């Protein structure tokens, strides 16, 4: 009997401690749609953040930016690394809802399959911010705002450089493409933007296109396979620097000179990529900024207070040639 009573007391205490996690504890007090609309009773804010993983230099810089900015903004961050798995992100979001955080932010690993869990957050009156990557949910009330790059535009910029670079050529230009994670917004959009621009001229031919999952190791592996089955590659378009850097190893391993025998375009502009650009191993980089932390924290404060925020906040970005990379390399933050 005594044992059963102790077990009941313990269960009660555990339930109380889960409910007390996060400053938005107490019914209806969390989130901008909640009754108080200001986070915890003392105005403090707890954010649950579900990160994609640590697949690239970009991702590492993005995690650092989010963690440092939360600290600076006085926001308590509950950080969860999904290791590139959607199921882990869904679990993390459910756990944030259970803990009654004040706001949830996440970078969705893929675009589809979020409606159910986002509905759960909405029913719990916890506002959600999409950061870096989009979801394809038809119901846009499931999240308050989307902060991040225009990936289609990034793909277009890559294509425009290529069109300009080969403007005097009438011969076929054989392109291989290393795509990002299958089903992710940057992979879908960078592919689409690039294809749209080069599609205007039939001399540009994508002869192979495969995912390298945004990692250096996979970029190298897939590029090795491309080189074996395609002796005549003119251009590599890699959806991020890391895959491009892996591919450079494969190209050098095959006895070719990256940047000369095979022209290389990548996206991101992280330090390692910029170094390779300055060294002439990459020819052009489209910037994708990972420094989303400060804007994310500002948006979080606003949505928790119930203030209006823009539905879409697009990150400002540029592009880099070899000369430009040499100029900015020493001051590059990531
Ligand atoms: O979503 C942004 C992309 O994800 C970056 O371009 C890539 O490096 C990262 O893994």
Measured CA to CA in angstroms, residue 67 lies from 5, 77, 299, 310 at distances of 42, 7, 15, 23
pLDDT for residue 84 is more than 60: yes
* pLDDT value for 43: 82
CA of 56 to the centre of ligand 1 (A): 7
pLDDT-derived band at 267 (thresholds 50, 70, 90) equals: very high
* pLDDT value for 25: 31
Q: Which residues of 229-239 are buried (b: 16+ CB within 10 A; e: fewer)?
A: eeeebbbbbbb
pLDDT for residue 10 is more than 70: no
Predicted confidence (pLDDT) per residue in 149-176, tens digit: 999 999 999 999 999 999 999 999 999 9
> What pTM does this model have?
0.89
Tell the burial category of 307 from Cβ atoms under 10 Å away from its Cβ (0-12, 13-18, 19+).
exposed
Q: How high is the mean pLDDT of the chain?
A: 90
Average pLDDT for 51-80: 98
151: Cβ below 6 Å to ligand 1? no
CA of 296 to the centre of ligand 1 (A): 17
189: Cβ below 6 Å to ligand 1? no
Distance CA(126)–CA(254), nearest Å, equals 53
Helix then strand count (H, E) for the chain reads 11, 12
39: Cβ below 6 Å to ligand 1? no
Encoded tokens for 96: 């944030």
Alpha-carbon dihedral angle through residues 202, 203, 209, 215, given to the nearest 10 degrees: -120
Q: Which of 38, 63, 33, 60 is nearest to 50 (CA)?
A: 63
Q: Give the 3-state secondary structure of residue 315.
A: coil
Average pLDDT for 205-226: 98
218: Cβ below 6 Å to ligand 1? no
CA of 87 to the centre of ligand 1 (A): 19
Predicted confidence (pLDDT) per residue in 108-135, tens digit: 999 999 999 999 999 999 999 999 999 9
134: Cβ below 6 Å to ligand 1? no
CA of 284 to the centre of ligand 1 (A): 17
Q: Which of 10-19, 38-47, 90-99, 118-127 has the lowest mean pLDDT?
A: 10-19
pLDDT for residue 39 is more than 80: no
Distance CA(103)–CA(38), nearest Å, equals 11
DSSP H helices, 44-133, are 57-73, 86-99, 115-123
Please report where in the chains the tokens 């296109």 appear, as a residue. 209
214: Cβ below 6 Å to ligand 1? yes
* pLDDT value for 11: 38
pLDDT-derived band at 33 (thresholds 50, 70, 90) equals: very low
CA of 14 to the centre of ligand 1 (A): 38
Distance CA(165)–CA(286), nearest Å, equals 15
Average pLDDT for 32-47: 67
**Cβ atoms of 48 and 92 closer than 8 Å:** yes
Output 24 or 261, whichever has higher pLDDT. Answer: 261
Q: Whose CA is nearest to atom 3 of ligand 1?
A: 186
* pLDDT value for 38: 60
CA of 28 to the centre of ligand 1 (A): 36
CA of 148 to the centre of ligand 1 (A): 11
Measured CA to CA in angstroms, residue 33 lies from 47, 52, 126, 141, 148 at distances of 15, 27, 7, 12, 23
**Cβ atoms of 292 and 148 closer than 8 Å:** yes
* pLDDT value for 40: 72
287: Cβ below 6 Å to ligand 1? no
């Amino acid at each position: 009997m005594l044992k059963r009573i102790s077990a009941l007391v313990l269960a009660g205490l555990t339930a109380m401690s889960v409910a007390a996690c996060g400053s938005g504890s107490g019914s209806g007090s969390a989130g901008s749609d909640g009754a108080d609309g200001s986070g915890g009773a003392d105005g403090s804010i707890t954010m649950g953040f579900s990160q994609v993983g640590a697949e690239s230099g970009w991702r590492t810089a993005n995690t650092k930016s989010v963690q440092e900015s939360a600290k600076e903004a006085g926001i308590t961050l509950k950080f969860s690394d999904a290791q590139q798995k959607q199921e882990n992100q869904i679990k993390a979001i459910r756990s944030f809802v259970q803990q009654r955080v004040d706001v949830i932010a996440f970078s969705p690993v893929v675009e589809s399959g979020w409606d159910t869990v986002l509905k759960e957050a909405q029913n719990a009156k916890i506002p959600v911010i999409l950061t870096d990557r989009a979801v394809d949910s038809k119901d846009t009330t499931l999240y308050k705002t989307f902060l991040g790059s225009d990936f289609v535009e990034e793909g277009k910029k890559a294509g425009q450089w290529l069109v300009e670079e080969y403007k005097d050529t009438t011969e076929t230009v054989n392109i291989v493409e290393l795509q990002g994670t299958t089903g992710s917004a940057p992979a879908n959009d960078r592919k689409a933007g690039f294809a749209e621009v080069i599609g205007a001229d039939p001399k540009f031919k994508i002869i192979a296109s495969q995912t390298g999952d945004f990692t250096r190791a996979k970029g190298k592996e897939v590029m090795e396979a491309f080189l074996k089955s395609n002796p005549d590659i003119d251009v590599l378009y890699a959806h991020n620097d890391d895959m491009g850097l892996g591919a450079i190893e494969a190209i050098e391993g095959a006895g070719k000179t990256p940047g000369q025998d095979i022209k290389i375009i990548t996206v991101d502009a992280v330090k390692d990529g910029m170094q390779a650009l300055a060294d002439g191993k990459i020819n052009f980089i489209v910037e994708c900024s990972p420094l989303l932390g400060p804007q994310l924290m500002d948006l979080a404060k606003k949505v928790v207070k119930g203030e209006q925020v823009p539905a879409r906040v697009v990150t400002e970005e540029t592009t880099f040639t070899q000369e430009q990379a040499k100029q900015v390399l020493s001051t590059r933050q990531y």
